[in-house]
Structure 1
């Protein structure tokens, strides 16, 4: 089909043509960035975490006598390990995603500049088994390495540490981390093991490269340990948590004892992210619907203004197929102009969001994907259905 007559017709109807192009362009720009942000939120919710999330329960004890807290830990652990179905139990200072970050900077040399700002975990004996840490290189802590551990300004005074695979790669790229030293202020620790990536206590404070930045220290029973980590089969988890909470409530009558499954803890952490993703999905659906109805309305009005032209073409022999082909070609030109302008706007909006709100760069394939989605909203024109006698009645 000749394009020149269609372009001439569009020039004679600049206002409706411009409105349709702008509507498609704005919809494309918003859709690209909204879908990208939905993808980012879903990716955040699915952050991998190399612990036994489905088998872990956490019981937190607050309000105990600080002078007796350390000596009570062995007694409490003995009671917890006696619960049927418990395969491992340990005391710890914090958990991944507990939103109570304890962070510290570490370097690879006393005056080094390669720094990671990482979450600090203190684990009692058996902590690696309770969490389900996966050892990738080296070893876990030996029994005698807990004896000389403690805390001073919330830093371990022990001499060994476990780090995650991500930190090992960041600190010593292309090299083994085993036997290397971590430094902060005037203290140093030797890396004895590398574990699979465990999430930070609050990855939102750690940035994209630090969400799996975590270090683990061995710690003798200490008053700073407020969490008891229990591991069991997923089918026993609810019962184990209930019995553990009851047992510690009896042993610590003056304390506040709270229990939660780790799956529940993760769900709470990502609740706002999940809500935002659903809200963006709703925005996309509403925007597509409004855009579709808007385009159909504008195009129907535009076609209505050309009923005489359509009727004359039908009267002189144009078939329904010819009329439909004409308007489909016209729609394709308008849609193409709209999505091309929309992709430019989408890229510009993404650059703005990157600079102002630290949003990641949008991958290029979001642009053509959104363009295809907008192309599929081509209005269902009814022009070819207008009979010549009706279209020419007003002449």
Structure 2
């Protein structure tokens, strides 16, 4: 189809065409970024924590007796919790994925090195690896003689004396690319700590950028504060029953404490991502609404032009144009308008992404989203204009003989 008649026709309605081009461009920019945000947040929802999520029950305990020895209290509590029918193991820990209690520190491979790499330090009582269900891909678990008190009264001074650590595969690959991390030293504090094990996955308590979400270390440090989380491992079908008994067992041992947030790990994950799911719904609604408004604009303009051109369409039909010719003409005209909006829309999409990266820590928009957005808008435009195009093709040649 010759391009010049199409462009000539569009230049007769410059303002209308310009407004529609701007609308398409804005839609392209927003939809590309919205879809990317939805995909990014959906990927977070599905990200594995590394734990046996459907087999864990937890509760927070906050002791109120300042003269009580927390380590002794934790040992007594754990002994009682392990006696609950259906509980296979129990540990006291200071943090979990998704609970927000993130103790992060700088990690280096040489002493006094300047590094921007930070990792979460998880601490817990013996049996933490097995209770949480972490998958050890290299090395070994901690030995009982390697555990030390965290010494929270002195700003976690135990980190400068801990002998060994277990790290995640993601952290190992970042610190020692192409090499095994086993037997290597890292510096989470002032002194070297030997890597004795590598686990497959372990998310941080507070998610950040996707690349650093699994920068985690396990240290053989015993939580020694009055505020601790007890985690119990049980069968999925036993979780609710065990959860109902946990508070009663701890209350009978010592009523001078605060017990809060008894829940399964599944509930913890759901609570953490509740805002994400709400945001995904809002973004879907916004993108759908914007696409719908754009489709209405395209269809409305095409219907208006068809109504204006009925006689000229009839003349073309009278001199030999087929219905297919008229249909293709209207669709080609729409294709040019949408294409005119997609080009600046792609540039605007990248500019909007840079703004989101700066203020909301969103990753860079992959290039693939731009052609995908263009195809989506082309299909939307062709779908929206199909009805008016069919009405134009149905105009009979006799219309050419009628007076205006």
How far residue 291 of structure 1 moved from its aligned partner, in angstroms, is 0.7
- Give the corresponding residue for 2:347: 344
Aligned 8 A contact 1:199 1:212 in 2: yes
- Give the corresponding residue for 1:139: 140
Q: Give secondary structure in 2 for the equivalent of 1:264.
A: helix
| C-alpha distance in structure 1 between counterparts of 2:188 and 2:372, whole Å | 48
Calculate the TM-score normalised by the size of structure 1: 0.92
1:262-273 counterparts in 2 under 5 A?
262-273=265-276
Aligned 8 A contact 1:114 1:171 in 2: no
Aligned 8 A contact 2:106 2:115 in 1: no
1:171 is aligned, of 167, 172, 175, to 175
1:1-395 counterparts in 2 under 5 A?
1-68=1-68, 69-114=70-115, 116-146=117-147, 148-151=148-151, 152-156=154-158, 157-204=161-208, 207-220=209-222, 222-224=224-226, 226-258=228-260, 259-377=262-380, 378=382, 379=385, 380-381=387-388, 382-389=391-398, 393-395=402-404
How far residue 192 of structure 1 moved from its aligned partner, in angstroms, is 1.5
How far residue 28 of structure 1 moved from its aligned partner, in angstroms, is 1.3
How far residue 161 of structure 1 moved from its aligned partner, in angstroms, is 1.6
Give deviations 1:148-198, integer Å, cap 9, x for gaps.
Answer: 444241242332221111221222222222222232453332222111221
Deviation above 6 Å: which 4+ runs of structure 1? none
Q: Give secondary structure in 1 for the equivalent of 2:307.
A: helix
- Which deviates more from structure 2 when the two are superposed, residues 384-393 or residues 30-39? 384-393
How far residue 289 of structure 1 moved from its aligned partner, in angstroms, is 0.7
Against the structure 1 CA distance between its residues 58 and 392, is the aligned structure 2 distance closer, same or farther, given a 3 Å change threshold? farther
Aligned 8 A contact 2:24 2:338 in 1: yes
Aligned 8 A contact 1:93 1:224 in 2: no
Against the structure 1 CA distance between its residues 150 and 366, is the aligned structure 2 distance closer, same or farther, given a 3 Å change threshold? closer
| C-alpha distance in structure 1 between counterparts of 2:394 and 2:254, whole Å | 81
Against the structure 1 CA distance between its residues 325 and 173, is the aligned structure 2 distance closer, same or farther, given a 3 Å change threshold? closer
How far residue 302 of structure 1 moved from its aligned partner, in angstroms, is 2.0
Give deviations 1:102-158, integer Å, cap 9, x for gaps.
Answer: 122232222223453221221102111111111111110112222x44424124233
| C-alpha distance in structure 1 between counterparts of 2:72 and 2:113, whole Å | 39
Aligned 8 A contact 1:108 1:115 in 2: no
How far residue 334 of structure 1 moved from its aligned partner, in angstroms, is 2.0
How far residue 391 of structure 1 moved from its aligned partner, in angstroms, is 6.5
Aligned 8 A contact 2:141 2:197 in 1: yes
Aligned 8 A contact 2:64 2:257 in 1: yes
How far residue 279 of structure 1 moved from its aligned partner, in angstroms, is 0.7
Against the structure 1 CA distance between its residues 321 and 208, is the aligned structure 2 distance closer, same or farther, given a 3 Å change threshold? closer
Q: Give secondary structure in 2 for the equivalent of 1:376.
A: helix
Structure 2 spans left out of the alignment, 5+ residues = none
Q: RMSD over aligned Cα, in angstroms?
A: 2.1
Calculate the TM-score normalised by the size of structure 2: 0.90
| C-alpha distance in structure 2 between counterparts of 1:169 and 1:316, whole Å | 72
How far residue 261 of structure 1 moved from its aligned partner, in angstroms, is 0.8
| C-alpha distance in structure 1 between counterparts of 2:361 and 2:304, whole Å | 43
Give deviations 1:344-370, integer Å, cap 9, x for gaps.
Answer: 322232233334443211111111111
| C-alpha distance in structure 2 between counterparts of 1:302 and 1:174, whole Å | 64
Aligned 8 A contact 1:150 1:158 in 2: no
| C-alpha distance in structure 2 between counterparts of 1:356 and 1:240, whole Å | 44
Aligned length: 392
Q: Give secondary structure in 2 for the equivalent of 1:91.
A: strand
Aligned 8 A contact 1:161 1:189 in 2: yes
Aligned 8 A contact 1:164 1:214 in 2: yes
| C-alpha distance in structure 2 between counterparts of 1:9 and 1:67, whole Å | 88
Aligned 8 A contact 2:318 2:400 in 1: no
Aligned 8 A contact 1:92 1:225 in 2: no
Aligned 8 A contact 1:71 1:221 in 2: no
Aligned 8 A contact 2:64 2:226 in 1: no
Against the structure 1 CA distance between its residues 224 and 177, is the aligned structure 2 distance closer, same or farther, given a 3 Å change threshold? farther
Aligned 8 A contact 2:123 2:223 in 1: no
